[in-house]
Amino acid sequence: MNRQNPLISIIVRTKDRPNLLKRVFTSISAQTYTPLEVILVNDGGCDIDTEDLKGLLDDIPLNYLRLESNHGRAFAANTGIKNASGEYICFLDDDDEYYPEHVSTLFSAAIQGDYGIVYTDALKVRRRFNAETGQMEEHESEIFGSYDFSYIDLITENYIPLTTILFTKRILLEAGGFDRSFELYEDWDLLLRVAEKHPPFHIPKVTVKYIFWDRMYQISQSESERHKYYHRIFHKHREKFNADVVLHLKKKRDIIEGELQNTLNIYKKIEKEYKDYIKLSEDRMQEYEDRIQEHNKKIQELREKLEYQGTINKNLEEKVALLEREIHLMMNTIGWRALTKLRRIRDKITPPGSSRRRIYEGIISPLKYRGILTSTHRTDNEYLKWLSKNEPDAEALNLQLTESLQFPDRPKISIIVPVYNTDRNMLISMLNSVLSQTYDNWELCIADGNSDIPHVKEVLSEYSDRDNRIKVTFLDKNYNIAGNSGRALETATGEFVAFLDHDDELSPFALYEVVRVLNNSGEIDIIYSDEDKINPSGKRCHPFFKPDWSPDLLTSVNYVCHLLAIRKTLLEKIGGIRDGYDGAQDYDLVLRCVSGTSKIFHIPKVLYHWRMHSESTAQNIYIKDYAHESGKKALEEYLSGKGIEAEIDKGAGITNYRINYRLSELPRVSIIIPFKDKYRLLKKCTESIINKSSYKNYELVLVSNNSAEKQLFDYLEELKELPSVRILEYNEPFNYSKLNNYAVKHSDGEVLLFLNNDTEVISVDWIESMLGHALRKETGAVGCKLLYPDNTIQHAGVVIGLTGFAGHVFSGLPGDAYTYFGSADFVRNYLAVTGACMMMRKEVFNETGGFDERFILCGSDVEICLRLIEKGYRIIYTPFAKLYHYEAKTRGKDIPHGDFKLSSTVYNKYLTEGDPYYNPNLTRLKTDCSLRSNGEEKILKEIIKNALGQS
């Protein structure tokens, strides 16, 4: 080392993202400057294979520092500084990257100008995962705050990324490092403290890749956290916010206001061009409308003939279908050509990604109801292919027309539609989707909330004149969705009522399937179906394949949603649709309905198409931010009506919820952990329970099975000193069921928690999260979310028949995965949960007679859950109890042949009929909730056959 090339230390902070470090270290090894050293600070995260990382660095030394628990970003940075040997220090986040000349650029400027702090520019790069290719994709955005240093600018904005800066170590030590009270903005605070005395020098050159992730992979603080630490910055440095700073902020405001005014002028120009284009198109539109009228008259003539004759003429129906498709094509062509023209104008004036575009979007958002700014999404090609193979074609639809006339029971279905200022094409598409139904005994009850767009009344009047089954009520004002729906319901005369939004569509076979179920399944009060979405380009996408009736899933999220059909007498009994729940009026309705009946049926077919556009929650759940609070209010009333004391918090996202059941008592929980040797695993497991669990009324019942390790016995001697620990020995041949049954007999708890020794607690309230469910009288067993060490899912519920006998749904997906089956972060009902972490009341366990001791290793956890189901109990999965699971570290994965044979017998009903809590349209060959493919049954049978035939 010498003065011309002093040692420079690069500090990398990380936590639980080891898969990103290879790219980070590769960018360090590519630096043109030497000598360097790397200080890697693991802030209480998972284990990291440093050997691979050292190999990437070649001759650059690596100093790996692992903190036993998470101390925060500031503490991790200070730890790196204290251990740094370099005269200069750089920082690099575990997902950002240096360009090769980064360090040399900084050092050259620092030496030439004798600067203590220098910084370069960073290029913002958005990184996303492409589900089709399985690869990460990167898209360059813009340069992060590229201008020379100004202390006034720094006071008002944190515009210098830490990863772009080179400090002398002396300056960092003089400043006392980072302030540990800041869990966010710690870098901003540091710069504010040191920059007055040592003004940073700016090098206008991009040398850092600054990564922004898609929301699915983003690790970020909440808005409330950002506000908290912003106010802390202000409070700590308040003496610096003087008159000059205020004047500077006013200048910035004036600049932004000027840009806003320019954008408004641009919008007015766009609007004028759009109106001019529409005006030029009026003649052609009139021609199309005349042709549409002619075709509609022909359709009506054909339908009247069908009514009188009572039979279906195949040639006439094909002609009707052809005409309807032509109408649909013409209408959509007009609208989308106009929209495409407008988008070209918009993109030319306000390029995507520019600051002008962002301001434009902020102003235009309230005007999006016009339907001209609808965004488009990638077409789900896999789903479109699946639809072509699994939905009825024209011939099958014609057959349904004939069959529906022969149904013994042909109830009238009243379809309720609230309308207000609906886009013309969307309104017509909705109406045509009802007219296209293959079941004819329906009425369409529409209430228009005094729309002020002329075409709404014109279209509704035209369609009601054409078909007397369409009943339209024009209201004196807009009573919002709930009010308009309620007034439409007043005109309904059907035995069942279905709900349809004014901009959505029904599948042509929707009502046929509803009535077919009513004819085949006896008395039913509520019917719901699967659903999908229509993206702005008219393509179907994002299906939601739901489970059969799952009461705990409903109290987590309104999964019932669309299509929903309810017996009218039940609606009248509960008082119909209520005002005061805007945005969640359907959730309030469903919760009140299910309180009055258990006769609920799920049709596992996509009968409803939810349209995505700028004013629809199908595209942007945040467009109706009041919906979350309305849903919370409805859920609170539902629980209160059942006498359940609980607090409702936000779930994993908006409009889904977490119910924290109030514990009137704090029962003793016996945590039963069988083990054989594996001292380190047991220690990690027990210490995580002791150190992290916020619930303290528990006993650890540790059951040794033929252990022999000296280290283990030494550790057990230490544990014996704790009053909450009980150590048992069961030195018979291994049998999971017998071990746990033996431990239960020697436990004192009112509640049992069966736990594997290869687990580690993550969430401090894991016991309370499970206990709140376990103490409910209807609950049999409760399972939790188990993660692999890389934070992918190991267990989020068990599905019978998945991958053969029984499998863990969502396994292998990211911890916050959202799939065609919904989210792994919803509380759900299942047929079973894993015994690796299962809780139940002791009285319930004794009622079943305990685990079936015929099972040696695998299957007894599922078997006891199925017996609980037979006794009328529920099995519940909660994602809010989280643990790591270092799966099969103790016993391996060789499953005894006898366990397979027993499983085949015990699971037979569900292997044959299917798991009601898993949608039959989804694959059983994999755990990723993708679509089912042809030929799966044959493969699954072969898997079972091979397992049963093994020796």
| pLDDT of 56 higher than 50 | yes
pLDDT score recorded for residue 700 = 97
Mean per-residue pLDDT for 456-460?
96
Greater model confidence, 863 or 944: 863
**466 against 289, higher pLDDT:** 466
Please tell me the predicted confidence (pLDDT) of residue 1: 44
**pLDDT higher than threshold 60 for residue 347:** no
Q: Would you say residue 414 has pLDDT above 90?
A: yes
Beta strand pairing call for 828-830 and 874-885: antiparallel
Does position 773 have pLDDT exceeding 60, yes or no? Answer: yes
Whether pLDDT at 356 is above 60: no
Q: Which two tokens stand for residue 275?
A: 């109106």
Q: What is the pLDDT of residue 31?
A: 95
Q: What is the pLDDT of residues 210-224, one digit of tens each?
A: 988 765 444 555 677
Per-residue burial over 419-450, b = 16 or more CB atoms within 10 Å of its CB, e = otherwise:
bbbbbbbbbbbbbbbbbbbbbebbbbbbbbbe
The span from the CA of 420 to the CA of 503, in Å, is: 10
Residue 947 has pLDDT above 70, yes or no: yes
Q: Mapping DSSP to helix (H, G, I), strand (E, B) and coil, where does residue 816 land?
A: coil
Which tops the pLDDT comparison, 274 or 290? 290
Conformational region of residue 791, where left means phi above 0, alpha means psi within -120 to 50, and beta covers everything else: left
pLDDT, tens only, 259-284: 667 766 776 777 677 666 666 666 66
What is the C-alpha end-to-end distance of the chain, expressed in Å?
A: 66
Q: Is 688 left (phi over 0), alpha (psi -120 to 50) or beta?
A: alpha
Least confident among 312-316, 434-438, 816-820, 828-832 = 312-316
The phi and psi torsions of 40 (rounded to 5 degrees) equal -100, 115
Output DSSP code: residue 612. P
The helix/strand/coil state of 619 is coil
Please report the pLDDT score of residue 622 as a whole number: 45
Whole-Å CA distances, 737 to 84, 672, 713: 53, 12, 24
Question: What is the C-alpha separation between 84 and 106, in angstroms, rounded?
Answer: 18
Mean pLDDT calculated for residue range 407-428 = 96
Q: What is the distance between the alpha carbons of residues 652 and 563, in angstroms, rounded to a whole number?
A: 24
In whole angstroms, what is the distance from residue 165 CA to residue 178 CA? 15
Tell me the pLDDT tens digit for each residue of 23-39.
999 999 999 998 999 99
Residue 58, pLDDT > 90, answer no
Between 195 and 230, residue with greater pLDDT: 195
Question: Is the predicted pLDDT of residue 346 greater than 60, yes or no?
Answer: no
Closest alpha carbon to 704 in 721, 719, 689, 688: 719
Q: How confident is the model at residue 580 (pLDDT cuts 50, 70, 90)?
A: confident
Please compute the mean of the pLDDT values over residues 925-950 and round it to a whole number: 86
pLDDT digits (tens, 9 = 90+) for 675-731: 999 999 999 999 999 999 999 999 999 999 999 999 999 999 999 999 999 999 999
pLDDT at 253: 58
Q: DSSP assignment of 131-158, as one string? A: TTTTEEEEEEEEEES-S---HHHHHH--
Task: Summarize the confidence of residues 612-626 as an average pLDDT.
Answer: 55
What average pLDDT is seen over the chain?
86
pLDDT-derived band at 293, boundaries 50, 70, 90 = confident
Cis amide bond preceding 408, omega within 30: no
Q: Given this model, what pLDDT does residue 365 score?
A: 38
User: What value does the mean pLDDT take over residues 372-384?
Assistant: 53
Q: Report helix, strand or coil for 671.
A: strand
pLDDT of residue 41: 96
Give me the helices (H) in 350-368, please: 355-364
Give the residue, 221 or 504, on which the prediction is more confident: 504
The H-or-E segment that residue 735 falls in is none
Whether residue 154 contacts residue 160, with contact meaning beta carbons closer than 8 Å, is answered with yes
With a cut of 50, say whether residue 599 has pLDDT above it: yes
Q: Report whether pLDDT(848) > 70.
A: yes
For residue 349, name the pLDDT band (cuts at 50, 70, 90).
Answer: low
Give the whole-angstrom CA distance, residue 38 versus residue 175: 22
pLDDT attached to residue 228? 86
Would you place residue 146 in the very low, low, confident or very high pLDDT band (cuts 50, 70, 90)? Answer: low
Task: Please indicate, yes or no, whether the overall pTM of this predicted structure exceeds 0.75.
Answer: no
Across the range 372-399, mean pLDDT stands at: 75
Q: Are strands 470-474 and 442-448 parallel, antiparallel or unpaired?
A: parallel
Phi and psi at 325, nearest 5°, equal -65, -40
Q: 505, 423 in Cβ contact below 8 A?
A: no
> What is the average per-residue pLDDT within 221-248?
78
For residues 369-379, average pLDDT: 34
Question: Which one is predicted more confidently, 425 or 381?
Answer: 425
**Average pLDDT, integer, range 835-861:** 95
Report pLDDT for 337: 38
Phi/psi at 881 (nearest 5 deg)? -100, 110
Confidence at residue 214, expressed as pLDDT on a 0 to 100 scale: 62
472-504 in b/e form (b: 16+ CB < 10 A) is bbebeebbbbbbbbbbbbeebebbbbbbbbbbb
Of 225-239, 732-746, 748-762, give the lowest mean pLDDT range: 225-239
